[in-house]
Amino acid sequence: MADLHDLTALEQGALIASGELTSLELTEHYLERTARLDDVGAFVTVTPDRAREQARAADLPDGWAGPRPPLHGVPTAIKDLNLTAGVRTTFGSAAYDDFVPEVSDAVTQAIEWSRMPSLGKTSTPEFGSPCYTEPEGRAPAVTPWDRTRMAGGSSGGAAAAVAAGLVPVAQGSDGGGSIRIPAACCGLVGLKPSRGRISGAPMYGDPVGLSTAGTLARTVRDAAALLDVLAGRRAGDPSWAEAPTGSFLAACDRRPDRLRIARFITPVISEATVDPDCVEAYEDASRLLEGLGHDVVDVPVPLSEEAVPVFETCWAVLTALSAAPPGSEHLLRPLTRWLSDRGRAVSGPDFGLAIGAMRRHAAAALEALEPYDAVLTPTLAAPPLLVGELRDDADPARDFEAQKAFTPWTSPWNVTGMPAISLPLHWTSHGLPVGVMLAARPAEEELLLSLAAQVEVAAPWHDRRPPGWT
């Protein structure tokens, strides 16, 4: 008989709905695993008493109007960038070690409203900026497939938690690849939704529109079910994606028609060397899609090289907006200080011009890709790297360039606002996961999920288990 953590999140939810399992029993199971097995740097703060209280509330027979959602009572965790009332939220920075917010953001509220107990806060790098999760003074987040190697970032703690079986599914956020990068490093499904799909209330900290919350899971269906929990707009949102025709979970059960799928492997934001395993994963995925009846077409890189410095300008300004409390600036990491200095050197008018230029670059890319239903690229230029291989405190500029070379395809879909998903379709001869990325037109998550689910059925990965799983 399978252990509880071997089951998918949806299977666990079904057991709770049938009365065969309580949310409290499942929460206790994951709390015990987290206390015993978190050698992957997944959690910054664990909140066992709060999780148990939320689980008991989920088990109450009343207090819920209408059918319960499929993940009702299933434990999860919340990224340490997301405001959680009454729970220490550090934003990955020593400057906020003692910060406890008084309000929760829309993502945290959506999880709580869906009666999903949260075990605590998952690790993230400072202000979610780097593509590795090595917060100051804390253990790095590592992939359970090789604990000497990075889990990616900035949702590295969330990915490590799911991949190690400490929670069945988790929320992350993605401003330049921060869900898809750790998904690829940890052998998971990582879904970045369309711009405006998930509310950024109440802070709306990204005026550019690059970042969004999203989902990390071991299966496409679990990722879709958590998207159903998180999706929705608030009255004050500056943008919102067109509502789906049904649930995102239901979209996974619809077989897609014959699709035109564009593909390219030329790195976009850096002249990176692509590892042979990443090339092999990309070519294998192309053949798989063709075998499923889709037309796969080579296309030029749709985003102009001129978009790269524009993106970097916006990224630097966003980092500068993540201000440390007065008197604690010295606690910031060298990379954060370097990016913040770049951002503060940009004038207000120049920042406005950069946003306008980025939107024009995005429009050109969207027009070039309009004839295609989906786009295929590798997720990363290499399998997960050794911890510390990208980080360079002595030379933050070199650190930043190394990050770009590792992630040359992820940020374009943040620029365009398109939904994108990383799928764990390949493993190296040394047992390291390699992701492949699919993107779709804005607001077409249903099509993207139906395609991803079709791929998963054809080349399943759910039964793979990293070392230390049991």
In this structure, of 108-122, 141-155, 317-331, 346-360, the range with the lowest mean pLDDT score is: 317-331
* H helix runs in 217-347, sequence order: 220-230, 248-251, 276-291, 307-321, 334-344
What is the average pLDDT across 229-245?
Answer: 94
List the CATH number of the domain containing 211: 3.90.1300.10
Segment (H or E) for 11: helix 9-18
pLDDT at residue 63, as a whole number: 63
b/e string for 101-125 if b means 16 or more Cβ within 10 A?
Answer: beebbbbbbbbbebbbbbbbbbbbb
Residues contacting residue 347 through CB under 8 Å, at least 6 positions apart: none
* Domain-located, residue 180: yes
The catalytic residue among 173, 178, 199, 286 is: 178
The total number of structural domains that make up the chain: 1
pLDDT digits (tens, 9 = 90+) for 378-419: 999 999 999 999 999 999 999 999 999 999 999 999 999 999
3-state secondary structure of 331: helix
Segment (H or E) for 451: helix 445-458
pLDDT digits (tens, 9 = 90+) for 260-311: 999 999 999 999 999 999 999 999 999 999 999 999 999 999 999 999 999 9
The catalytic residue among 79, 121, 192, 404 is: 79
Segment (H or E) for 181: helix 180-186
* Domain-located, residue 414: yes
3-state secondary structure of 55: helix
Q: Is residue 404 annotated as part of the catalytic site, yes or no? A: no
**Segments forming the whole domain that contains residue 38:** 7-458
* Domain-located, residue 463: no
Sheet holding 43-46, edge to edge: 43-46, 118-122, 76-79
What is the average pLDDT across 217-235?
Answer: 98
* Domain-located, residue 106: yes
The catalytic residue among 123, 129, 154, 286 is: 154
pLDDT digits (tens, 9 = 90+) for 80-138: 999 999 999 999 999 999 999 999 999 999 999 999 999 999 999 999 999 999 998 99
pLDDT at 1 over 70: no
* H helix runs in 370-408, sequence order: 396-406
* Domain-located, residue 470: no
Question: Whole-angstrom Cα distance, residue 301 to residue 67?
Answer: 45
DSSP string for residues in 91-112: TT-GGGTT---SS--HHHHHHH
Task: Tell me what percent of the residues of the chain surpass a pLDDT of 90.
Answer: 95
> Quick one: pLDDT band at residue 175, thresholds 50, 70, 90?
very high
* Domain-located, residue 288: yes
**Residues, the chain, total?**
470
